Structure 1
Amino acid sequence: MVCSVFDVARSSFYDYKNRRNTIDANEVELRAQLNACFKLSRGSAGSRTLLAMLADLDIDVGLFKVRRLMRDMQLVSKQPGPHAYKVAVSERPEIPNQLNREFDVHNPNQVWCGDITYIWTGQKWSYLAVVIDLYARRAIGWAMSEKPDTALTIKALDRAYEQRGKPRGVMFHSDQGSQYSSTKFRQRLWRYQITQSMSRRGNCWDNSPMERVFRSLKTEWVPSIGYNSFKETEQDISFYLMNYYNWSRPHSHNDMKAPAVAEEKLNSLSGIS
């Protein structure tokens, strides 16, 4: 009677019932992989990021299906809204802004960027310095300390310099923090034959790739109440930068490829060893 009222064939009704009672093994597997990728991102990945992560696993699925499954599974990304940056024009006369927001570079070890942030580690703040290569936004050096001093930035720079094979002709860009303008840090740059560039005072857009790294770290990875100890923080930050961020987290700059993966692909296409 209901089929007659709605002008639906009875065969269509029984087909619908059979489909409702049949388990789709492919979709069950897809949901499991989707949930695993979401957990790996600690709840930060949106539909486009999850789509890219699934593609890396050779799983062919569309964006709208990923969004539907996210709704069904109640997977909600915790990405924050856009941040408003201050604008300023003041430069250090002796260390000009040579990069001048030219963030798209064509070769590895052409421009590195560095910055410092703070993280709660049990009972006090600790400090993290990171260096990235703008070529594919890959994290290449980092260091943690209980003091935000020049030794911290030098340690991160040393690690980057060693990890990248002691390159020459690099430009290093940072903000105007005292750690980067200190005599000891500038002497280390001179020893490595690295050219220095500095953002204009109070202008975070001049070093926005580094701001983006720290924003992602704090919103996607660091627990909302911080860590329990300095050692725990070091281990977790190391895993985020050197493993998840470099090798698994899709980056919009690289057409949704992880930085290290994109860099190796670009190097292979360019014949760079």
Structure 2
Amino acid sequence: MIDELVDAGHPVKVCCRLLGVSSPGYYQYKNRPLSPTAMRRQWLTGLIREVHTASRGTYGSRRVHAELTRGMDVVVSENLVAVLMSLAGIAGLPGPAKVKKLKGVATADDLVHRKFHRLAPNELWVTDITEHPTREGKIYCCAVLDAFSRRIVGWSIDNHQDSSLVVNALDMAIKNRRPAPGGIVHADHGVQFTSWAFTRRIREAGLMPSFGTIGDGYDNAMMESFWSSMQIELLNRKKWRTRIDLANAIFEYIEIFYNRQRRHSQLNYESPVTHELRYESPSIPA
């Protein structure tokens, strides 16, 4: 309290007299060395700031704790990380609002039936389109996500949405991953995904098309979760001047941050790339 009053410009003696504290006692308290606990908390707060900044200001206490313990080998509890972040005014971006799950919805022509969990790469890909405005006009992005690792394995950006947008994203995924026959490509009933060109490309690669229920976003919930994260962590954080600016930012977000750095809560706080590397070589350290 006295420190705050002094910082505001009030004389020390006046503050001490008003609060019933002796001036020598105040100076003795002021000049005493920090305790080991206080020093460690200051050190941890500095590390937390570094991790939070490296995450582009997106990480909350759980992901900061994962980075400290797994990435930096710091022994600290998640509760202490949350307390120190609160005291320092550090906060992650808010997640999407939780909604109740639908029950008893028909899922005709659906090979997934909302069961997205997979035990190996390339067994199930999910795909969708999102849009976002710039001062020049809208930009459209199609992405293909591997359900095993949540990694974006293919993507395409354009200033209009047609079958070429989704085919280009799928082509990228096929060339990058070279999937074995029998995998599933799951999408909604948008005209781009039900187009002849898109379904033909799926079958040419030996894969199987799957479509969720019309008008039901829960049948592609994993892809919607990715769009929600990108919306919060990138798209809505500023006004975008040109389509090129936004396209470059989306590329950097997907390939640099999301795939390789961002710790995913459903992957035991590993990044998608690390999760796949651990699948190929289980001896890789966390």
Determine the C-alpha separation between the residues in 1 that align with 2:225 and 2:124: 16
Q: Counterpart in 2 of 1:56?
A: 71
Q: Which amino acid aligns with 1:61?
A: V
Q: Distance in 2 between matches of 1:125 and 1:57?
A: 40
- For 2:190, the equivalent position in structure 1 comes to 177
How has the CA–CA distance of structure 1 residues 29 and 143 changed in structure 2, closer, same or farther, with 3 Å as cutoff? Answer: farther
Inter-partner Cα distance in structure 1 for 2:196 and 2:110 = 18
The whole-number CA distance in structure 1 between the counterparts of 2:88 and 2:181 is 50
- Contact kept, 8 Å, 2:267 with 2:275, in 1: the verdict is yes
| Aligned 1:65-214 pairs, distance under 5 A | 65-84=80-99, 87=102, 89=105, 91=107, 96-214=109-227
- Counterpart of 1:38 in structure 2 is 52
| Secondary structure of 1:132's aligned partner | strand
Aligned to 1:248: 261
Unaligned runs of 5+ in 2: 1-27
Measured after TM superposition, the shift of residue 247 of structure 1 is: 1.6
Report the TM-score when normalising by structure 1: 0.84
CA displacement, residues 144-192 of structure 1 (integer Å, 9 cap, x when unaligned): 0101111010111111111113543211001111110001111111111
Summarize the Cα distance change of 1:106–1:86 in structure 2 as closer, same or farther, 3 Å threshold. closer
Deviations along 1:14-51, one digit per CA (max 9) or x if unpaired, are 89973438896654443333112212333221110111
Tell me how far apart the structure 2 counterparts of residues 148 and 85 of structure 1 sit (CA, whole Å).
30
Q: Which residue matches 1:218? A: 231
TM-score with structure 2 setting the length: 0.81
* 2:25 matched residue in structure 1: none
Offset at residue 86 of structure 1 (A): 8.1
Q: Is contact 2:141–2:158 with CA below 8 Å preserved after alignment?
A: yes
CA deviations 1:215-271 (Å, max 9, x no partner) are 00001122434321122112211121112111211112111111111111122239x
**Does structure 1 retain, via aligned residues, the 8 Å contact 2:96–2:228?**
no
Q: Shift of the alpha carbon at 1:128? A: 0.6
| Matched-pair contact (CA < 8 Å) for 2:95–2:229 | no
SS of alignment partner, residue 237 of structure 2: coil
Indicate the residue corresponding to 1:11 in structure 2: none
In structure 2, C-alpha distance between the alignment counterparts of 1:197 and 1:239, rounded to whole Å: 29
Name the amino acid aligned to 1:41: S
| Structure 2 counterpart of 1:18 | 32
Shift of 1:63: 0.7
- Quick check: 1:227 aligned with 2:240? yes
d(CA) in 2 for partners of 1:193 and 1:125?
A: 34
What secondary structure sits across from 2:215 in the alignment?
A: coil
State percent identity of aligned pairs: 26
- Count of paired positions: 255
**Aligned partner of 1:31: which letter?**
T
Larger Rg: 2
Q: Indicate if the aligned counterparts of 2:133 and 2:240 stay in contact, CA closer than 8 A.
A: yes
Residues 93-149 of structure 1: per-residue CA shift (max 9 Å, x gap): xxx101111111111110000000001233211101111101111111111010111
CA distance in 1, matches of 2:53, 2:235: 14
Contact 2:122 / 2:179 at 8 angstroms: preserved in 1?
no
Q: 1:68 to 1:106 in 2, by over 3 A?
A: same
CA distance in 2: counterparts of 1:77 and 1:127, whole angstroms:
27
